[in-house]
Structure 1
Amino acid sequence: MMIKVERGNPTPEELAAVVALVQARAAASPGPADGPRPADEWAAPARNVPSRPLRPAPVAWRATYWPH
């Protein structure tokens, strides 16, 4: 990890505090080695199942694109 000071002239104590904060945040954040991520709700197979059974009707074609 490399930290570059763009402006200003921090003291060694200030710079050490920033480095400690960045390291603590990096250690607390979950990484890819922490195990598999939970499945996304959008990827659930149950979303592909119709909520109500389809019934043929004489005017069913009109309701094809209506919101349910």
Structure 2
Amino acid sequence: MAQSYLRVVHGAATPEEVAALVIAVATRAATPPRPAQKPALWRNPAHQMRTALSPGSGAWRASSRPH
């Protein structure tokens, strides 16, 4: 005989309510959480903008270097 995995402890659950509970638990267990993905920066137009120039010693040399 098969062993039951769910047991109604309090009240009288209808077969429809038990089926809805089984579907909800199975759906929750079947979908693993997706890891957060970083947005693709290669097509971001802000990536092409220059950083602010800071005055000071060697600023003229740093102005021609890529950021």
Q: Give the structure-1-normalised TM-score.
A: 0.35
Larger of the two Rg values belongs to structure = 2
More helix as a share of residues:
1
Q: Give the structure-2-normalised TM-score.
A: 0.35
